[in-house]
Amino acid sequence: MSGQHFSLEQVRHKFRYSLNELIRFETHQEVVAQKSKTALILISGFIIYSLLTIIPCLTRHYYHGVVTNICLAIAFALMMVHLLIFKSHTRITILGAFEVCIILFFHFIMETNWDMGMDAFWLFILVTPFITDYVAGAFFGSIAALNGLLLSLVCFHTPMKGYLQPYGDNMTDWFSVIYIVVMLAAAVIEYELTAYQIDKKVSDEKIAVLQEERTSRLKKQLAIYESNEQTIRKYKHDIRHFNRVLAGYIQNKDYDRAESYLQEFDSMLEQVTAVSFCENTVVNELLTIYTAQCQKLGFKPRIKAMVPTHIPMEEIDLTSLVANALENAVEAQGKLPEGNRAMKVEISYDGRKLKLRTQNPYAVETQFQPNGLPISTREVQSGIGTAQIKSIAEKYGGVASFSQEDGEFVVKAVMTCI
């Protein structure tokens, strides 16, 4: 059973994109532009070939071939005009394939010189699925490639066979079957190429999102640095005045006021946001940004972070894991009275496991789904953040849990990173 399960999983991974996803990909603007250029190049080559083959036909007085090649050249020229006007590589591939099929059909049944073998045409028809699939994709290309199958069925398996020059039994009996096999092979090959292109597109989009998030974080952190610098400059300028006032309290032995003054001074220094929580750049940036947001909400989070510079985890996953956990916790504090706001964050890596824990009070009781994920309390429910945390934990062979304990919402995630 495990072997069967493994095989089914392999099949699911192999054919991981649905028919709708393939169609959407083929109709994407960038793909249409690229495939249309490819189709123009191929059609141009077919036009040149059709025109060049007229010359040997004329020298041999093979006028039937001259007419066929002229018809093919005209058909390809019309395809090119249609493609330039409507820019639809899928439609022109389907229509063009069937146009060529019709021209060849009349060429076969009207051929009277049986010394002129038609096998070369049938060989060209046999490779048609690879051409149509390459230009129009596995779905639309397979529709276009049906022209060759229909042509072989009509010519070899109907009374129309009597209008053709004699062929061997292997040709008439097996061509349609061989053509179906070729169609399937071409479709599978093109599916793999398309799947690779979709994977690459998805990967590029993820990288773009990561870069955008990275840029946004850097802007936020730069704003924090600038704010800290202004605050430090202000205190550096005023430090002599603070020292004189404090010295005056001490000289007058007014220790209570001196202590109160120092506490006030300490609270002012807390306006300078800490910018070094751990060695890991990603974690440090995120903690710095969300600590600044906490301070704007009027409270200081308790943070314990021990994450080295490099850990065996993709940066995009680490970013998503930490950012989602912190964002949910900070957002929850905005719904609480200022005096009740708090947040604890613990994140550590011991060379094998990465552990994350956030703990914060909440204003609204959370309901949970059967799979353990909390039901979003936002007006527009999403639940994407917690689902992402769980997905990343499971990706690295770990677990994530969400619970309410003693009036606080707790997020725990443990995963193996070696």
Predicted confidence (pLDDT) at residue 79 exceeds the cutoff of 60? yes
What does the pLDDT look like over 13-34, one tens digit per residue?
566 788 888 888 888 888 899 9
Closest-CA residue to 220 (of 275, 260, 177): 275
Backbone Cα Rg of the chain: 36
Tokens for 352, please give them: 């094998």
Average confidence (pLDDT) over 394-402: 94
Q: Which helix (H) or strand (E) holds 415?
A: strand 408-416
Tokens found for residue 68: 């066929």
If we measure between CA atoms, which residue out of 410, 377, 375, 371 comes closest to residue 394? Answer: 371
Residue 268 has a pLDDT of 63
Strand partners, 360: 409
**Six token digits for residue 348:** 């550590």
Please name the residue that has the structure tokens 């083959």: 53
Locus of tokens 């001074």? 265
Query: Within 13 A of 175's CA, how many CA atoms are on the CB side?
Result: 23
Name the average pLDDT for the chain.
Answer: 86
CA distance linking residue 328 with residue 318, whole number of Å: 16
pLDDT category of residue 379 using cuts at 50, 70 and 90: very low
Q: Is 50 exceeded by the pLDDT of residue 227?
A: yes
How many angstroms from the chain centroid is the CA of residue 50? 42
CATH architecture of the region 278-418: 2-Layer Sandwich (3.30)
Going by the DSSP 8-state scheme, the letter that residue 381 receives in this structure is: -
Structure token digits, residue 108: 């076969």
pLDDT value of residue 365: 86
- Cα distance between residue 321 and residue 315, in whole Å: 10
What is the DSSP track for 45-96? Answer: HHHHHHHHTHHHHHHTT-HHHHHHHHHHHHHHHHHHHHHHHH--HHHHHHHH
Q: Which are the contacts of 81, defined by CB distance < 8 A and separation ≥ 6? A: none
DSSP E strands in 307-392: the ranges are: 344-349, 353-361
Reported as half-sphere exposure (CB side, CA atoms, 13 A), residue 306 has a value of 6
> What is the distance between the alpha carbons of residues 71 and 107, in angstroms, rounded to a whole number?
10
Mean pLDDT computed over 343-358: 95
Domain ranges of the chain: 15-207, 278-418
Residue given tokens 């993709």 in the structure block: 314
Please say whether the beta carbons of 290 and 330 come within 8 A.
yes
Residue 382 pLDDT: 39
What is the distance between the alpha carbons of residues 69 and 14, in angstroms, rounded to a whole number?
A: 42
Residue 358 phi/psi, 5-degree rounding, is: -125, 145
What average pLDDT does the segment 306-314 reach? 93
Tell me the H-state helices in 297-383: 315-333
Please determine, for residue 48, whether its predicted confidence score (pLDDT) is greater than 50: yes
Nearest Cα neighbor of 186 from 143, 227, 228, 127 is: 127
Split at pLDDT 50, 70, 90, the class of 49 is very high
In whole angstroms, what separates CA 3 from the centre of its chain? 30
Chain segment 154-199, per-residue pLDDT in tens = 999 999 998 898 888 999 999 999 999 999 999 999 999 999 888 8
The mean pLDDT of 365-373, rounded to a whole number, is 87
Per-residue confidence band for 36, with pLDDT thresholds at 50, 70 and 90: very high
At 355, phi and psi to the nearest 5?
-120, 135
Give the pLDDT confidence of 262-295 residue by residue, as tens digits.
777 766 666 555 567 899 988 988 898 888 889 8
Q: What is the pLDDT of residue 2?
A: 45
pTM for this entry: 0.62
pLDDT tops 70 at residue 414: yes
CB atoms within 10 A of CB 202: 10
Query: pLDDT confidence of 7, banded at 50, 70, 90?
Result: low
Residue whose structure tokens are 């950012």: 323
Question: Token digits for 221?
Answer: 């952190």
Q: What's the average model confidence in pLDDT over 243-255? A: 79
Looking at residue 140, what is its pLDDT? 94
Neighbours of 139 (CB within 10 A): 20
Integer CA distances (angstroms), 146 to 18, 133, 139, 173, 314, in order: 21, 11, 11, 18, 45
Can you read off the two tokens belonging to residue 309?
A: 């510079």
Confidence of residue 150 (pLDDT cuts 50, 70, 90): very high
Spell out the residues 6+ positions from residue 368 whose beta carbon is closer than 8 angstroms to its own: 374, 375, 402
DSSP string, 239-250: HHHHHHHHHHHH
Gap between the Cα atoms of 321 and 327, Å rounded: 10
